[in-house]
Structure 1
């Protein structure tokens, strides 16, 4: 019988991980970069133009991570609220730095037109380890539901709770990377004791709409803007992207709330999840960051124009 060691070095075939396997997995995780110097320092430099608040604090062993959000300085309850989130998967760098680029370079243009709330790095432990999961081998982006087992998800839900019905647009910034296929999907199969089936990685940018409440024109407005910066992912031979049917150019759909995804945390009319492909030979890190920032601008602009 094949074991999960054929595709992942922890666990055995058909058996979900227990405490021993999770402990072994955690022991293999290495800190590669600094949340403090690469993210917090950038947020601190925005304090002269925006309000910055600590909405939670992660605790993993002897490590502490402040969770920071950026708000429009002159918050006006008469204006629509636009929510931007990034770094739910800490390894997806352009989600974090694209959100910060949007605030630094574009947010001032919305003063007096919208209230902006930006949480640029929801999973700082994952950011430092360049990992999809948190330290408990939990995917925060499948954990946005009541009594969430993920500190990261629970903290964001507390932050937005007073605004759930006031947020008009929520854009959640992500990446699809080659390591999704080489590391994270095999790890997920091993963790859950399920078979691992190899898949493909789309080359280009795409969006995930809410299948329960789709907004196709909104999605296409974002696609049209991003296409000026980077290429859009084509459908595969099955007219799919990562196993989901393509419903329009560069767009697939998920049931956001059913899956516990970040984009489901409010009752916003306009919701989308971006997916940038940073491993493409046709894209640079700078392009990826800019694509995220442009996507945010397009999303906010559309929501403002259509109410």
Structure 2
């Protein structure tokens, strides 16, 4: 379905320039605080994990330090797992799920696998409950070493500094009603295109890598998450957000080709989660638990394999 309604920024059918970008920025306001919500929880974990400042953002004088946490006893003989949250800042359960995992479950994996966790990759967007960064760029289409999103390049640099191979990468995301009401229309307006309306799936699903498919891995995660929250069904076309459902609650994308976050480690086992916090069948707390269940199930499967 094509929705030709005009987004409040720009001229329909014309890509944005600097004036439109400035107008879009003027619409963004700080709705929550990274330094209040997220950083204190990272600081509280610093007695158990090494806190790493892996990058700095400076957006019109607003400065953000990018933080990660890793095992203090990082054993290069062990495999390594990366957990990322908040690549899209508005996807709250990704941030909270990464932190909750560290606070409640991560100790169970000590001595089995090295953990590296970046709980909030995009703090400017976290504060504005937005998908894009300050430059109206989606970090999760720009995970390239020469890409335009500092949120992405800083994380790539952090990954490159790690000794030894990665076995697992779990990237924690959400699909929300605002994808259809705000972020999809904004993307179309920015690029001078008509907006094609998506049907928002009701429930949790995963995105596998079509260039490195791991069906059993994803099946095991869905089985674990199904004990926590409901799984999104396929639509009438057998799709979720326009992609063919290849297994219960699983679609796939070419991660490297699309420059998605899960492409940066070269890990054997990678997945991107999508929970749906706007569903009447779930709660924000349940969505966070689903994210934690995903991480634990992913690590358990990888270690047992």
Judge same fold: TM > 0.5, yes or no.
yes
Residue number in structure 2 paired with 1:151: 150
- How far off is 1:53 after superposition? 0.8
Partner of 2:129: 130
Structure 1 window deviating more from structure 2 (157-166 vs 77-86): it is: 157-166
Show the counterpart of 2:22.
23
Alignment of 1:220 onto 2:214: no
1:184-263 aligned at under 5 Å gives the runs 184-263=183-262
Q: What is the CA-CA distance between 1:165 and the residue it aligns to?
A: 6.4
Contact 1:84 1:170 in 2 (8 A): yes
Q: TM-score by structure 1 length?
A: 0.97
Instruction: Give the structure 1 partner of residue 168 of structure 2.
Output: 169
Note the C-alpha offset of 1:287.
Answer: 0.5
Deviations 1:85-124 (A, max 9, x none): 0000000000000000000000000111010000000000
Partner of 1:70: 69
CA contact (8 A) 2:66 2:121 kept: yes
Identify unmatched segments of 5+ residues in structure 1: none
Question: Structure 1, residues 131-165: CA drift from partner, whole Å, max 9, x if none?
Answer: 00000000000010131100100100000013486
1:157 and 1:265 in contact (8 A); partners too: yes
What is the number of residues matched between the two proteins?
Answer: 304
* Residues 140, 228 of structure 1: alpha-carbon distance in 2 compared, 3 angstrom cutoff: same
Cα distance, 1:198 vs. partner? 1.3
Instruction: Give distance in 2, aligned partners of 1:83 and 1:221.
Output: 18
* Cα contact 2:76–2:163 (8 A) shared by 1: no
CA contact (8 A) 1:165 1:266 kept: no
Structure 1 runs of 4+ aligned residues shifted over 4 Å read none
The two structures, once aligned, show a CA RMSD in angstroms of: 1.3
Residues in 2 aligned to 1:68 and 1:234: alpha-carbon distance in whole angstroms:
36
CA displacement, residues 245-293 of structure 1 (integer Å, 9 cap, x when unaligned): 0000000000001111000011100010000000011111110111101
**Corresponding position: 1:119 with 2:118:** yes
Gap regions ≥5 residues in structure 2: none
